[in-house]
Protein backbone atom coordinates (compact mmCIF):
# COMPACT_ATOMS: atom_id res chain seq x y z
CA UNK A 1 0.00 0.00 0.00
CA UNK A 2 1.28 3.49 -0.82
CA UNK A 3 0.04 7.01 -0.20
CA UNK A 4 -0.44 7.45 -3.95
CA UNK A 5 -3.35 5.08 -4.06
CA UNK A 6 -5.33 7.60 -2.01
CA UNK A 7 -4.78 10.43 -4.50
CA UNK A 8 -7.90 11.48 -6.41
CA UNK A 9 -8.45 9.67 -9.69
CA UNK A 10 -10.83 12.18 -11.26
CA UNK A 11 -11.91 15.79 -10.89
CA UNK A 12 -15.32 16.10 -9.31
CA UNK A 13 -18.06 16.22 -11.88
CA UNK A 14 -20.74 17.88 -9.81
CA UNK A 15 -21.24 20.60 -7.23
CA UNK A 16 -23.58 19.81 -4.38
CA UNK A 17 -25.08 21.44 -1.35
CA UNK A 18 -26.28 19.40 1.60
CA UNK A 19 -25.13 17.63 4.72
CA UNK A 20 -23.87 14.29 5.94
CA UNK A 21 -23.87 12.92 9.50
CA UNK A 22 -21.50 10.30 10.88
CA UNK A 23 -21.23 8.76 14.34
CA UNK A 24 -17.80 7.43 15.16
CA UNK A 25 -16.51 5.86 18.37
CA UNK A 26 -13.44 6.25 20.50
CA UNK A 27 -11.10 3.28 20.88
CA UNK A 28 -8.87 1.93 23.61
CA UNK A 29 -5.43 0.61 22.70
CA UNK A 30 -4.33 -2.77 24.07
CA UNK A 31 -0.90 -2.39 22.48
CA UNK A 32 -0.07 1.30 22.60
CA UNK A 33 0.97 3.70 19.86
CA UNK A 34 3.51 6.07 21.41
CA UNK A 35 6.09 7.54 19.07
CA UNK A 36 5.66 8.62 15.47
CA UNK A 37 7.66 9.84 12.48
CA UNK A 38 7.13 11.46 9.08
CA UNK A 39 3.56 12.38 8.37
CA UNK A 40 1.68 10.64 11.17
CA UNK A 41 3.39 7.26 10.80
CA UNK A 42 3.67 5.06 13.89
CA UNK A 43 7.00 3.80 15.22
CA UNK A 44 5.36 0.53 16.20
CA UNK A 45 2.19 -1.38 15.43
CA UNK A 46 -0.75 -1.02 17.83
CA UNK A 47 -4.07 -2.76 18.33
CA UNK A 48 -7.23 -1.49 19.96
CA UNK A 49 -10.77 -2.34 20.89
CA UNK A 50 -13.15 -0.03 19.12
CA UNK A 51 -15.67 1.26 21.66
CA UNK A 52 -19.39 1.66 21.37
CA UNK A 53 -20.96 4.20 23.72
CA UNK A 54 -18.17 6.78 23.72
CA UNK A 55 -18.65 8.42 20.37
CA UNK A 56 -18.71 11.68 18.45
CA UNK A 57 -21.56 12.60 16.17
CA UNK A 58 -20.57 15.04 13.44
CA UNK A 59 -22.73 16.72 10.83
CA UNK A 60 -20.84 18.24 7.93
CA UNK A 61 -22.85 20.87 6.06
CA UNK A 62 -21.31 21.68 2.71
CA UNK A 63 -21.82 24.03 -0.19
CA UNK A 64 -19.56 25.14 -3.04
CA UNK A 65 -17.25 27.89 -1.80
CA UNK A 66 -18.28 31.47 -2.36
CA UNK A 67 -14.98 33.31 -1.94
CA UNK A 68 -11.48 32.65 -3.24
CA UNK A 69 -10.65 30.39 -0.31
CA UNK A 70 -12.89 27.82 1.29
CA UNK A 71 -13.96 28.60 4.84
CA UNK A 72 -15.47 26.64 7.72
CA UNK A 73 -16.93 27.06 11.18
CA UNK A 74 -17.03 24.50 13.98
CA UNK A 75 -19.78 24.10 16.57
CA UNK A 76 -19.48 21.91 19.65
CA UNK A 77 -22.86 21.19 21.25
CA UNK A 78 -24.41 23.97 19.17
CA UNK A 79 -21.92 26.57 20.41
CA UNK A 80 -19.34 28.11 18.12
CA UNK A 81 -15.98 26.56 19.03
CA UNK A 82 -13.17 28.58 17.43
CA UNK A 83 -10.58 26.79 19.58
CA UNK A 84 -11.13 23.65 17.44
CA UNK A 85 -10.25 25.49 14.24
CA UNK A 86 -6.43 25.30 14.25
CA UNK A 87 -6.43 21.50 14.57
CA UNK A 88 -8.96 21.15 11.75
CA UNK A 89 -7.10 23.67 9.58
CA UNK A 90 -3.96 21.60 10.00
CA UNK A 91 -5.97 18.46 9.22
CA UNK A 92 -7.41 19.98 6.02
CA UNK A 93 -3.95 21.17 4.94
CA UNK A 94 -2.61 17.63 5.37
CA UNK A 95 -5.42 15.92 3.48
CA UNK A 96 -6.15 18.33 0.63
CA UNK A 97 -3.95 16.50 -1.85
CA UNK A 98 -5.91 13.33 -1.17
CA UNK A 99 -9.36 14.88 -1.05
CA UNK A 100 -9.34 18.24 -2.89
CA UNK A 101 -12.97 18.96 -2.04
CA UNK A 102 -11.75 20.51 1.23
CA UNK A 103 -10.47 23.42 -0.90
CA UNK A 104 -13.60 23.63 -3.02
CA UNK A 105 -16.35 23.76 -0.42
CA UNK A 106 -17.40 25.89 2.52
CA UNK A 107 -18.34 23.90 5.59
CA UNK A 108 -20.19 24.08 8.84
CA UNK A 109 -19.03 21.30 11.15
CA UNK A 110 -21.45 20.50 13.99
CA UNK A 111 -20.16 18.06 16.54
CA UNK A 112 -21.31 16.52 19.82
CA UNK A 113 -19.70 13.91 22.05
CA UNK A 114 -21.68 11.25 23.91
CA UNK A 115 -19.23 11.56 26.80
CA UNK A 116 -19.04 14.76 28.82
CA UNK A 117 -16.76 17.36 27.28
CA UNK A 118 -13.60 17.72 29.38
CA UNK A 119 -14.13 14.25 30.86
CA UNK A 120 -10.49 13.64 30.03
CA UNK A 121 -11.50 11.11 27.37
CA UNK A 122 -9.58 11.70 24.17
CA UNK A 123 -12.09 12.99 21.68
CA UNK A 124 -9.51 13.22 18.90
CA UNK A 125 -9.96 9.58 17.82
CA UNK A 126 -13.74 9.76 17.61
CA UNK A 127 -13.78 13.37 16.39
CA UNK A 128 -11.20 13.03 13.62
CA UNK A 129 -12.59 9.69 12.43
CA UNK A 130 -16.12 11.13 12.28
CA UNK A 131 -14.96 14.13 10.27
CA UNK A 132 -12.82 11.98 7.94
CA UNK A 133 -15.75 9.68 7.31
CA UNK A 134 -18.05 12.66 6.57
CA UNK A 135 -15.56 13.93 3.98
CA UNK A 136 -15.32 10.51 2.32
CA UNK A 137 -19.12 10.26 2.23
CA UNK A 138 -19.24 13.63 0.50
CA UNK A 139 -16.51 12.61 -1.95
CA UNK A 140 -18.47 9.46 -2.83
CA UNK A 141 -21.40 11.67 -3.85
CA UNK A 142 -19.15 13.78 -6.09
CA UNK A 143 -17.35 10.98 -7.90
CA UNK A 144 -18.78 9.68 -11.15
CA UNK A 145 -17.33 6.30 -10.19
CA UNK A 146 -17.64 5.98 -6.43
CA UNK A 147 -15.20 3.87 -4.44
CA UNK A 148 -16.29 0.47 -3.17
CA UNK A 149 -17.49 0.34 0.44
CA UNK A 150 -14.14 -1.17 1.53
CA UNK A 151 -12.13 1.45 -0.36
CA UNK A 152 -14.23 4.17 1.25
CA UNK A 153 -13.54 2.80 4.76
CA UNK A 154 -9.85 2.53 3.96
CA UNK A 155 -9.71 6.10 2.72
CA UNK A 156 -11.58 7.31 5.83
CA UNK A 157 -9.02 5.57 8.05
CA UNK A 158 -6.16 6.97 5.96
CA UNK A 159 -7.50 10.52 6.31
CA UNK A 160 -8.40 10.08 9.99
CA UNK A 161 -4.80 9.06 10.69
CA UNK A 162 -3.61 12.38 9.30
CA UNK A 163 -5.85 14.13 11.83
CA UNK A 164 -4.86 11.96 14.80
CA UNK A 165 -2.98 8.67 14.66
CA UNK A 166 -5.27 6.67 16.92
CA UNK A 167 -8.30 7.89 14.90
CA UNK A 168 -7.21 5.51 12.12
CA UNK A 169 -8.36 2.69 14.42
CA UNK A 170 -11.91 4.02 14.97
CA UNK A 171 -13.45 3.49 11.52
CA UNK A 172 -14.00 -0.23 11.99
CA UNK A 173 -14.19 -2.66 14.91
CA UNK A 174 -14.07 -4.52 17.22
CA UNK A 175 -10.30 -5.15 16.93
CA UNK A 176 -8.18 -2.94 14.72
CA UNK A 177 -4.45 -2.99 14.01
CA UNK A 178 -2.59 0.07 12.86
CA UNK A 179 1.08 -0.05 11.89
CA UNK A 180 3.01 -2.47 9.71
CA UNK A 181 3.72 -5.71 11.51
CA UNK A 182 5.49 -8.66 9.86
CA UNK A 183 3.13 -11.22 11.38
CA UNK A 184 -0.15 -9.41 10.70
CA UNK A 185 -1.36 -9.80 7.17
CA UNK A 186 -2.50 -6.59 5.50
CA UNK A 187 -1.25 -4.37 8.35
CA UNK A 188 -0.07 -0.94 7.28
CA UNK A 189 1.39 2.27 8.64
CA UNK A 190 -1.09 4.18 6.50
CA UNK A 191 -4.44 2.82 7.67
CA UNK A 192 -6.07 0.85 10.44
CA UNK A 193 -7.18 -2.63 9.36
CA UNK A 194 -9.52 -5.12 10.98
CA UNK A 195 -7.57 -7.73 12.90
CA UNK A 196 -7.48 -10.55 10.33
CA UNK A 197 -7.18 -13.71 12.44
CA UNK A 198 -9.43 -15.85 14.55
CA UNK A 199 -10.70 -14.26 17.77
CA UNK A 200 -12.08 -16.43 20.56
CA UNK A 201 -15.68 -15.58 21.57
CA UNK A 202 -14.54 -14.27 25.00
CA UNK A 203 -12.82 -11.36 23.26
CA UNK A 204 -15.66 -10.61 20.90
CA UNK A 205 -17.84 -8.64 23.28
CA UNK A 206 -15.40 -7.25 25.81
CA UNK A 207 -16.53 -4.76 28.43
CA UNK A 208 -14.77 -1.50 29.20
CA UNK A 209 -15.77 0.82 32.00
CA UNK A 210 -13.91 4.11 32.06
CA UNK A 211 -13.26 5.46 35.54
CA UNK A 212 -12.96 9.23 35.36
CA UNK A 213 -10.21 9.98 37.85
CA UNK A 214 -9.37 13.33 36.41
CA UNK A 215 -11.39 15.53 34.11
CA UNK A 216 -10.33 18.56 32.13
CA UNK A 217 -7.52 19.34 29.73
CA UNK A 218 -4.83 16.73 29.23
CA UNK A 219 -1.68 17.48 31.20
CA UNK A 220 0.52 16.48 28.25
CA UNK A 221 -0.84 16.80 24.71
CA UNK A 222 -0.32 13.76 22.51
CA UNK A 223 1.88 15.79 20.16
CA UNK A 224 4.21 16.66 23.02
CA UNK A 225 4.07 13.08 24.28
CA UNK A 226 4.94 11.45 20.97
CA UNK A 227 7.78 13.91 20.47
CA UNK A 228 9.29 12.82 23.77
CA UNK A 229 10.06 9.48 22.14
CA UNK A 230 12.53 11.06 19.68
CA UNK A 231 15.47 11.36 22.05
CA UNK A 232 14.26 8.83 24.54
CA UNK A 233 16.85 6.46 26.03
CA UNK A 234 14.50 3.46 25.84
CA UNK A 235 12.60 4.21 22.63
CA UNK A 236 14.01 1.44 20.45
CA UNK A 237 13.43 -1.17 23.15
CA UNK A 238 9.90 0.14 23.61
CA UNK A 239 9.04 -0.12 19.90
CA UNK A 240 10.41 -3.67 19.88
CA UNK A 241 8.50 -4.52 23.03
CA UNK A 242 5.21 -3.31 21.51
CA UNK A 243 5.73 -5.24 18.27
CA UNK A 244 6.74 -8.31 20.29
CA UNK A 245 3.62 -8.02 22.44
CA UNK A 246 1.48 -7.85 19.33
CA UNK A 247 3.07 -11.08 18.05
CA UNK A 248 2.31 -12.72 21.37
CA UNK A 249 -1.29 -11.56 21.26
CA UNK A 250 -2.21 -13.56 18.15
CA UNK A 251 -2.35 -17.04 19.77
CA UNK A 252 -3.80 -15.51 22.95
CA UNK A 253 -6.72 -13.99 21.05
CA UNK A 254 -7.28 -17.23 19.18
CA UNK A 255 -7.22 -19.50 22.20
CA UNK A 256 -9.12 -17.18 24.53
CA UNK A 257 -6.22 -17.11 27.01
CA UNK A 258 -7.56 -14.30 29.19
CA UNK A 259 -4.79 -14.55 31.77
CA UNK A 260 -2.06 -14.02 29.18
CA UNK A 261 -4.15 -11.22 27.67
CA UNK A 262 -4.33 -9.47 31.06
CA UNK A 263 -0.58 -9.75 31.48
CA UNK A 264 0.15 -8.08 28.15
CA UNK A 265 -2.52 -5.40 28.42
CA UNK A 266 -1.51 -4.25 31.90
CA UNK A 267 2.18 -4.38 31.00
CA UNK A 268 1.50 -2.20 27.95
CA UNK A 269 -0.33 0.38 30.05
CA UNK A 270 2.46 0.60 32.58
CA UNK A 271 5.16 0.63 29.88
CA UNK A 272 3.44 3.60 28.24
CA UNK A 273 3.51 5.47 31.55
CA UNK A 274 7.09 4.35 32.18
CA UNK A 275 8.05 6.03 28.90
CA UNK A 276 6.63 9.30 30.20
CA UNK A 277 8.35 8.99 33.54
CA UNK A 278 11.71 8.34 31.87
CA UNK A 279 11.61 10.99 29.16
CA UNK A 280 13.05 14.44 29.43
CA UNK A 281 11.10 16.47 30.43
CA UNK A 282 9.42 13.76 32.55
CA UNK A 283 5.82 13.42 33.62
CA UNK A 284 3.76 11.40 36.04
CA UNK A 285 0.31 11.23 34.50
CA UNK A 286 -1.15 8.85 37.05
CA UNK A 287 -2.79 10.34 40.14
CA UNK A 288 -2.92 8.81 43.63
CA UNK A 289 -6.45 7.62 42.82
CA UNK A 290 -5.20 5.90 39.65
CA UNK A 291 -2.82 3.85 41.79
CA UNK A 292 -5.51 3.15 44.38
CA UNK A 293 -7.76 1.79 41.66
CA UNK A 294 -5.00 -0.37 40.15
CA UNK A 295 -4.15 -1.85 43.54
CA UNK A 296 -7.79 -2.57 44.29
CA UNK A 297 -8.25 -4.26 40.90
CA UNK A 298 -5.24 -6.48 41.63
CA UNK A 299 -6.51 -7.32 45.11
CA UNK A 300 -10.00 -8.10 43.83
CA UNK A 301 -8.55 -10.32 41.10
CA UNK A 302 -6.37 -12.18 43.60
CA UNK A 303 -9.20 -12.72 46.02
CA UNK A 304 -12.03 -13.61 43.64
CA UNK A 305 -10.34 -15.13 40.59
CA UNK A 306 -12.09 -12.50 38.44
CA UNK A 307 -10.64 -11.74 34.98
CA UNK A 308 -10.85 -7.99 35.49
CA UNK A 309 -7.86 -5.93 34.33
CA UNK A 310 -7.01 -2.34 33.52
CA UNK A 311 -5.42 -0.24 30.87
CA UNK A 312 -4.55 3.46 30.76
CA UNK A 313 -4.22 6.04 28.06
CA UNK A 314 -1.96 9.07 28.39
CA UNK A 315 -3.72 10.35 31.48
CA UNK A 316 -5.04 9.46 34.93
CA UNK A 317 -8.31 7.75 33.94
CA UNK A 318 -8.51 3.98 34.24
CA UNK A 319 -10.13 1.73 31.64
CA UNK A 320 -11.42 -1.37 33.39
CA UNK A 321 -11.59 -4.33 30.99
CA UNK A 322 -13.63 -7.45 31.76
CA UNK A 323 -15.55 -10.35 30.33
CA UNK A 324 -19.22 -10.04 29.52
CA UNK A 325 -20.12 -12.97 31.75
CA UNK A 326 -18.49 -11.24 34.75
CA UNK A 327 -20.29 -7.99 34.11
CA UNK A 328 -22.68 -7.90 37.05
CA UNK A 329 -20.00 -8.78 39.66
CA UNK A 330 -17.50 -6.31 38.19
CA UNK A 331 -20.05 -3.49 38.08
CA UNK A 332 -20.92 -4.18 41.68
CA UNK A 333 -17.23 -4.06 42.58
CA UNK A 334 -16.83 -0.77 40.70
CA UNK A 335 -19.86 0.69 42.51
CA UNK A 336 -18.76 -0.40 45.95
CA UNK A 337 -14.97 -0.01 45.79
CA UNK A 338 -13.76 2.04 42.83
CA UNK A 339 -16.37 4.73 42.33
CA UNK A 340 -15.16 6.66 45.37
CA UNK A 341 -11.85 7.29 43.56
CA UNK A 342 -13.58 8.84 40.54
CA UNK A 343 -14.15 12.58 40.09
CA UNK A 344 -17.67 13.22 41.32
CA UNK A 345 -18.13 9.43 41.35
CA UNK A 346 -18.29 9.41 37.57
CA UNK A 347 -17.63 6.46 35.29
CA UNK A 348 -18.80 5.42 31.83
CA UNK A 349 -19.90 1.91 30.93
CA UNK A 350 -18.80 0.86 27.50
CA UNK A 351 -17.94 -2.23 25.45
CA UNK A 352 -16.48 -3.16 22.10
CA UNK A 353 -18.21 -1.89 18.97
CA UNK A 354 -18.12 -1.92 15.21
CA UNK A 355 -16.81 1.50 14.23
CA UNK A 356 -18.08 4.55 12.39
CA UNK A 357 -21.49 4.66 10.82
CA UNK A 358 -23.26 7.08 8.56
CA UNK A 359 -26.60 8.21 9.92
CA UNK A 360 -29.40 8.78 7.51
C1 LIG B 1 -1.65 6.95 24.51
O2 LIG B 1 -3.57 9.43 18.47
O3 LIG B 1 -3.83 11.08 20.33
O4 LIG B 1 -3.75 6.97 23.40
O5 LIG B 1 -1.37 11.12 16.43
O6 LIG B 1 -0.60 12.98 17.90
O7 LIG B 1 -3.05 12.67 17.47
P8 LIG B 1 -1.70 12.02 17.60
O9 LIG B 1 -1.76 11.10 18.90
P10 LIG B 1 -2.93 10.24 19.52
O11 LIG B 1 -2.08 9.28 20.50
C12 LIG B 1 -2.72 8.29 21.22
C13 LIG B 1 -1.79 7.72 22.19
C14 LIG B 1 -2.38 6.74 23.19
C15 LIG B 1 -2.14 5.30 22.77
C16 LIG B 1 -2.99 4.76 21.67
O17 LIG B 1 -4.14 5.16 21.51
O18 LIG B 1 -2.48 3.86 20.98
* Ligand 1 contacts CB of residue 34 (under 6 A): yes
Using an 8 Å Cβ cutoff, are 238 and 268 in contact? no
Q: Evaluate if residue 92 carries a pLDDT over 90.
A: yes
Atom of ligand 1 at shortest range from CA of 40: 5
Q: Evaluate if residue 118 carries a pLDDT over 80.
A: no
Alpha-carbon gap, residue 108 to 33, rounded angstroms: 31
* Ligand 1 contacts CB of residue 152 (under 6 A): no
Using an 8 Å Cβ cutoff, are 147 and 164 in contact? no
| 186 band by pLDDT with thresholds 50, 70 and 90 | very high
Q: What angle do CA 194, 200, 202 make, to 5 degrees?
A: 105
Ligand 1: residue of 37, 167, 222 to mutate (most ligand atoms within 8 A of CB) is 222
pLDDT attached to residue 20? 98
| 123 band by pLDDT with thresholds 50, 70 and 90 | confident
* Ligand 1 contacts CB of residue 49 (under 6 A): no
Ligand 1: residue of 166, 176, 246 to mutate (most ligand atoms within 8 A of CB) is 166
pLDDT attached to residue 120? 63
Q: What is the mean pLDDT of residues 221-249?
A: 96
pLDDT attached to residue 360? 76
Q: What is the mean pLDDT of residues 289-313?
A: 98
Distance 264 CA to ligand 1 centre (A): 19
pLDDT attached to residue 209? 98
Least confident window among 107-116, 160-169, 178-187? 107-116
Q: Evaluate if residue 112 carries a pLDDT over 90.
A: yes
pLDDT attached to residue 187? 98
| 217 band by pLDDT with thresholds 50, 70 and 90 | confident
The answer as to CATH 3.30.230.10 being correct for domain 3-198 is yes
- Ordered DSSP codes for 258-302: HHHHHHHHHHHHHHHHHHHHTSSS------HHHHHHHHHHHHHHH
* Ligand 1 contacts CB of residue 129 (under 6 A): no
Using an 8 Å Cβ cutoff, are 337 and 293 in contact? no
Domain boundaries, the chain: 3-198, 202-351
Superfamily of domain 202-351 in the CATH hierarchy: GHMP kinase, C-terminal domain (3.30.70.890)
Share of the chain above pLDDT 90, in %: 92
pLDDT attached to residue 119? 64
Q: Do domains 3-198 and 202-351 have the same CATH topology?
A: no
Residue nearest atom 7 in ligand 1 by C-alpha distance: 164
Cβ neighbourhood burial of 322 (10 Å; 0-12, 13-18, 19+)? buried
* Ligand 1 contacts CB of residue 165 (under 6 A): yes
* Ligand 1 contacts CB of residue 164 (under 6 A): yes
Amino acid sequence: MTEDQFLPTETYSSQLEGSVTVQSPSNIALIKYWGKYGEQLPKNASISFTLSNCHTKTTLKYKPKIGEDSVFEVYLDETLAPNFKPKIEQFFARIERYIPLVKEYDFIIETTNSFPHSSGIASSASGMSALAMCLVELEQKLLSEPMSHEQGLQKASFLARLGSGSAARSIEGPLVVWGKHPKIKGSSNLVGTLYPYEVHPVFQDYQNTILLVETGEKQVSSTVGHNLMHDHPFSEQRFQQANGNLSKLTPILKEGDVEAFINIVESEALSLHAMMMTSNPYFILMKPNTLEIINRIWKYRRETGSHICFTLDAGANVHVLYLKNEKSEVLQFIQSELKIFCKEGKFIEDRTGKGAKTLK
